[in-house]
């Protein structure tokens, strides 16, 4: 009885949110066309991580204020809704500004990818999460438009969590495919599509990502594929904005043949990091470069628009709290199952400015190889633009400032590393 009551409340909340979106005549919305020429022009983008979905390594100062919190769910639970909302409003209004969007455009980029959680649209009745993010997202879209940037709205956290990562909002839980969570996620996508397909947003919002990083190996892949198809159909009720699906950590080319003919404006997202296993951390710089080149060769064989939606310049997992609150690094051998590869001194926080010339040149090589690789398909988004305390090799603005990220983007100190 209690469960059915909660489900009714959830449905009412979702319906209220959806009905509150500004109405646009269906025939006008339906005609909104794709506003970026995917497939003929490359995506050059950056993620704005940690803004509307908290991540401990991106906003360590926020997490230091709430000892013991490991994710946004627990952070808000400890503060209570009033305290959580007050503190987050301060964060939302200051972490990114119009000046950041101007700097991103000045770096030669044409896109930003902005993560949001389902709770920004319609939190569940018993969630500790708070909403209010969309007003700031709207402001971000306005800033992006003024700077000449396109926006991907990325659903980064689903009800129950799709992967158990802290960046889903709820760490160590993977319950997305339980109960009515998937159905509820479709309601969230419908609300996002209805709002952001409207004319006032459409020239800037060029894509909506149905879900970030569902952990395929621990989920039912058939249900993931069905969700991609249902989500595509939901967005198509409102226009031709691109629909982004994720590879769910399956091989990139394993998605060939899926949602191709007849599934207009579908983009496959893949994320490529080389720091989250002991084997990857044992690679030399040459090995890292060749691994990136190998991804590029895979991308040459895809049958749909494919974008690397997340990657970084990191070759260690040293960044403070990258592996989660209370978890240590593989690089120093303190993470379960790892062996020491070196010291994290100078790599936990701050800038890359003090790195040795050999470290800087190695990082530049790796960045250039990845740029060349991901442009074998349809482009890329670097993760991320900035963090609170500096995260060496993860901050694009810092890498640019220290000549480890090419300016202009086509400049190469190490040309033709992959032989493409």
Q: Catalytic positions, please?
A: 213, 310
In the three-class reduction of DSSP (H, G, I as helix; E, B as strand; rest coil), residue 205 is classed as: strand
Do residues 60 and 321 lie in contact, with contact meaning Cβ atoms separated by under 8 Å? yes
Do residues 377 and 307 lie in contact, with contact meaning Cβ atoms separated by under 8 Å? yes
Q: Measured between alpha carbons, how far is residue 200 from residues 166, 197, 210 in Å?
A: 33, 8, 21
Instruction: With CA atoms as reference, report the closest residue to 75 among 202, 83, 356, 225.
Output: 83
Could you count the other beta carbons within 10 Å of the beta carbon of residue 291? 17
Alpha-carbon distance of 71 to 325, in angstroms, equals 8
Task: Please enumerate in sequence order all residues whose Cβ is within 8 A of that of 313, keeping only pairs 6 or more positions apart, or say none.
Answer: 363, 366, 367, 370, 393, 394, 399, 404, 405
Do residues 200 and 170 lie in contact, with contact meaning Cβ atoms separated by under 8 Å? no
Q: Measured between alpha carbons, how far is residue 281 from residues 287, 361, 374, 397, 399 in Å?
A: 10, 18, 21, 24, 21
Instruction: With CA atoms as reference, report the closest residue to 211 among 238, 240, 176.
Output: 176
Distance of CA 131 to the CA centre of its chain: 19
Alpha-carbon distance of 29 to 238, in angstroms, equals 6
Cis preceding-peptide flag for 191 (omega within 30 of 0): no
Do residues 347 and 306 lie in contact, with contact meaning Cβ atoms separated by under 8 Å? no
Q: Measured between alpha carbons, how far is residue 248 from residues 213, 220, 254, 272, 405 in Å?
A: 6, 11, 11, 12, 28
Do residues 72 and 131 lie in contact, with contact meaning Cβ atoms separated by under 8 Å? no
Task: Please enumerate in sequence order all residues whose Cβ is within 8 A of that of 231, keeping only pairs 6 or more positions apart, or say none.
Answer: 185, 186, 189, 210, 211, 243, 245
Place of tokens 């959680």: 117
């Amino acid at each position: 009885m209690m469960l059915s009551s909660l489900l009714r409340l959830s449905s009412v909340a979702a319906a209220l949110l959806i009905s509150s979106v500004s109405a646009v005549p269906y025939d006008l919305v339906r005609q909104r066309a794709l506003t970026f020429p995917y497939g003929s022009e490359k995506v050059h983008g950056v993620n704005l991580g940690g803004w509307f979905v908290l991540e401990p390594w991106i906003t360590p100062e926020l997490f230091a204020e709430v000892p013991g919190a490991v994710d946004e769910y627990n952070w808000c639970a400890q503060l209570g809704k009033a305290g959580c909302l007050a503190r987050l409003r301060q964060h939302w209004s200051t972490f990114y500004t119009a000046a950041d969007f101007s700097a991103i455009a000045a770096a030669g980029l044409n896109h930003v990818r902005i993560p949001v959680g389902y709770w920004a649209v319609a939190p569940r009745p018993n969630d500790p999460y708070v909403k209010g993010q969309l007003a700031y997202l709207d402001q971000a879209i306005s800033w992006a438009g003024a700077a000449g940037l396109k926006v991907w709205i990325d659903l980064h956290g689903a009800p129950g969590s799709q992967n158990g990562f802290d960046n889903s909002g709820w760490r160590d839980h993977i319950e997305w495919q339980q109960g009515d969570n998937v159905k509820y996620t479709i309601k969230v996508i419908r609300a996002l599509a209805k709002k952001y397909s409207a004319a006032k947003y459409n020239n800037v919002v060029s894509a909506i990502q149905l879900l970030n990083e569902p952990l395929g190996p621990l989920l039912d892949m058939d249900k993931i594929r069905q969700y991609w198809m249902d989500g595509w159909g939901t967005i198509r009720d409102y226009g031709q904005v691109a629909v982004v699906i994720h590879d769910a950590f399956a091989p990139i080319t394993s998605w060939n043949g899926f949602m191709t003919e007849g599934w207009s404006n579908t983009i496959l997202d893949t994320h490529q990091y080389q720091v989250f296993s002991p084997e990857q951390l044992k690679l030399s710089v040459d090995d890292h470069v060749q691994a990136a080149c190998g991804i590029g060769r895979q991308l040459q064989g895809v049958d749909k628009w494919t974008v690397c939606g997340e990657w970084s310049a990191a070759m260690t997992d040293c960044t403070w709290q990258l592996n989660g609150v209370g978890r240590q690094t593989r690089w120093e051998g303190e993470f379960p199952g790892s062996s020491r590869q070196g010291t994290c001194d100078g790599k936990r926080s701050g800038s890359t400015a003090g790195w040795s010339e050999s470290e800087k040149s190695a990082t530049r090589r790796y960045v250039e190889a990845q740029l060349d690789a991901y442009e074998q398909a349809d482009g890329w988004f670097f993760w991320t633009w900035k963090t609170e305390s500096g995260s060496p090799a993860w901050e694009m603005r810092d890498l640019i400032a220290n000549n480890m990220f090419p300016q202009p983007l086509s400049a190469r100190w190490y040309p033709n590393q992959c032989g493409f």
